[in-house]
Every structure is written in C-alpha cells, then in structure tokens.
Structure 1
Amino acid sequence: MIVKSRAIVISALKYGDSSLIVKLFTEQSGMRSYMLKGVRASRKAKLRSGYFQPLTLLDIVARHKDKGTLEALTEARLLAHFQSIPFQPAKTAVAMFIAEILSQSLREEESNIPLFNFLSEAVIWLDSHDKIANFHLSFLLQLTRFLGFYPHDQNPHLPFFDLVEGDFTDSAENTVIPEDLIGVFRAFLGTDFEGSSQIYMTKTERRELLNLVVMYFKLHLQGFQNPRSLLVLNEVFN
C-alpha cells in the first residue's frame, strides 16, 4: 500500500556500510520503521541521510506491507527548514532527549492526528524561540495528555504530588514531588510553551523536577527506561 504522510524523525541507526534504519512517527500510520538502503553511499542518493536527524519534519511517500517488518521509504522532503535546532547545542540536546522519550513512549501503528499536530507544533516552537530552558519539562507534561496519565488537579492546594496515583495529596507515603518543588510543578500544569518559559526555576530545581517527571513516566509506561540523553540534558542546563 502506498502511503503519503507527514512524519517526524524519531531515530536513525546506521546499518551496514551505507544504509540506515529510521524510525518515524507518521501522521497517517503512527510509529513506523524503514530500511533506507544505500542512503549513506552517495550524495546523489534519492533520499538524503541529512534529512533523518532527530525531530526533523518530513513529507514522505512510503510502501507499507503492514506485516510487522521494516517498511520501504521511497520519497522524503523537508516540511520545515530548521533555523536553530541543528546549530545550537542546547536545542540539539533537547531534540535528542525528546526523540528518545518519544521512541519509548509511542508504539502504536495507527493514526493519531491530534498527537502528531502537537508534536509538530512543539518542534516548530523549539526551533523558533530562544527561552527554552523549561521547554522539555512543559513538553513532557503536555505529552502525558496523549499517553493517558496527565496529572489530576482536583486538589492542587495539597502539599505533595503522588507520582504513583498521579494526583495531589497530603501524604508522602508513596514517591512524591516534595513541598519545595510543588509550586513550580503546579505552575506547569495547564500552561503552554510560552507560559512555561516565564516560570522561574533555579538550576537545581529544574534538574530535580525533570528527574521526578522522568520517574513519573517510568511508573506509568511499562518498560520505560531512563533516557541516555538525560545526563547530557542536565549538564547543558547546568
């Protein structure tokens, strides 16, 4: 079946001397993996290896057999030309971190247009804004809406947030976001990327809250592991 779709690059793995295995989140078919034979062998290749950097937005044409094997990508063109993500180390680190989060979180091979729109808008925001120190925290919390475990906020006045139950609480029996971080955590809920960029945090608060939000993902997504890029990201913003 020939499929035409918008897509977001999640990862690209070198295969052999000249090929790539790429993972894309597509608007029409969800998460898919493709074999790109010979794409690294020649600058004249029909598909350019430079198109497959984390979070690159593409228009693709593909052949899907839907048999659980690697699919075939026949055409790809850039949907957006990044102005800053590939050239600013902090943004590159954020892109790698987000791509790794998505690689672990998104598994369904089916269309989810609202999620695709959220992801593409987030990538464009990251590329076009300068105040990005809180972007990854805002992104993770907004992503949980689509994954089914967005924090409940019926009792936002309570002093802790229970990571297991996903709700504010007055008890610290389970793993919680503590009182000294609950104010900044609460500030992220219900706000967008622009609003989150105005939240003041110390470097220590940002690092500790990020580690707790990653733990929140681990508690609610089976098989989720600490992203390898987490350490790099913490170092960048310290």
Structure 2
Amino acid sequence: MRRVLVTGGSRGIGRAVAVAFAEHGDRVAVHYNSDADAADRTRRLLPGTGHTTIAGDLDDPDAALQVAEAAVSALGGIDVLVNNAAVATSAATRHAVTEVDYAQWQQIWQQMINVNLLGAVHLSYAVARHLIDRGAAGRIVNIGSRGAFRGEPDFPAYASSKAALHAFGQSMAVALAPHGIAVASVAPGFISTERQEAKLASDAGDAVRAQSPFGRVGTPDEVAAAVLYLASANAEWASGAVLDLNGASYLRT
C-alpha cells in the first residue's frame, strides 16, 4: 500500500486518478482548492479506507507546503505525488493577445504560472524532501498537456505553464534519481471531463473528435491508467519521460 497525494482531485482527471490508485489498494489524499463537496464526492468513490481530503489554494506558495504537510500527517507519509491541479482553459481564462487588455493579460498569466507551474514546483520540493529525509524511494507524476507542444494561441499562458512543467519534471528526474525518486509527465490531448461536456455536445464537438484519427477524444480513465503505470515500481526506467496521450492527434518529433 502506498500513500498518494493527488492535487486537483475533486473532479475530472484528478478524480479518475484518485479512484485508480484506491482501486489498486493505495490510500489517497484528495487535494482541492475550494469545492469541498466535490472533493468529498471523490473521497466517497474511493474503495478502501484511510482516504482524506485536503484544501489548499496552490496560487499561494505557502499553501503548497501546508498541503504536503497535511497529507503526510493524514496518511502517515507520501510515496507518490500526482501534480494535476491547474487553472484550466475556459471562457473565463481565454487571453488571446488581440482580445484582452493588459491588466487581464497580466492577471491570467500570473494565475496560470502560479498554479499550473509553481504549485507543482513547490509541492514537488516538499514531497521530494520528505522522501529524501525518510530515505525512501518514490514517484512524482505531472499532468502536462499536448498544448505544450502544438501551442495554444488563445491560451498561451496555459501552454507555456505546461511546457515549463514538462521541463521541470525532466530536471527533477535527473536530480532525484540518486535518491530513488522517479519523475515523469503525461501530456494529454482533449479529454472528456465534465468541464468539456458542453463543448463536445455542441456544433464544435465533431471538429474536436476529428482531431484524432480514432474519431473520439480521450477519457479521464485513460489518463489515470498512464499515471498509475508511471507511478509503479516497474516504471523507474521511464523517469524523465513525457508520455503523449492524444490519440495521434498531434505527433511530435
């Protein structure tokens, strides 16, 4: 049994990841920002016992350390960290350079970098130091994005934060390998989360599905399966990898 901290676990990919670990027999701390009810629904979906929910706004660097410390206290330690929490692309966070004023531009960039990148950076530091102090091996898995490679013209801060997250993960893979800590990332394409239901049901849905030659979008469970593998004992040699999960909708060389 491992102790697993999943950030942004109240719904979508984070919820699927939390469920996958619990079904594997692990104990899970479900982190959330503000929606305690949704996080508690995730917790109730988890088989087994000893799971918990932890609140924290990762826009605040101090909160990242507090989340890690709370997870260590509640679970008795952390063996796996999944950095999933992010400010997502939405109508509210759209910031095409021709559409927003300078104040909006600054605000959205700052928020996305703070949460998507620095929240994961600070949590990774806290968990890595916890593992090193214990003399224990561990795993860190980052949830990146296809957008880091193909670009997101309407959401450049999002793409940039995810590209930086991939690079951070690779740097930590090298730095932490001597301590038995493997670090890897997944880069999902379009995923059918609750947040995307309206878009997939609209006239734009067919065009989104057509991005992949499979004629569909990915599922949270498919991302969770990849995370579960990268966090496994058999995946140490995948440390430093960025695994594309986009149904061949974008191929990079």
Q: TM-score, normalised by structure 1?
A: 0.25
Of structures 1 and 2, the one scoring higher in RCO (CA 8 A, sep 6+) is 2
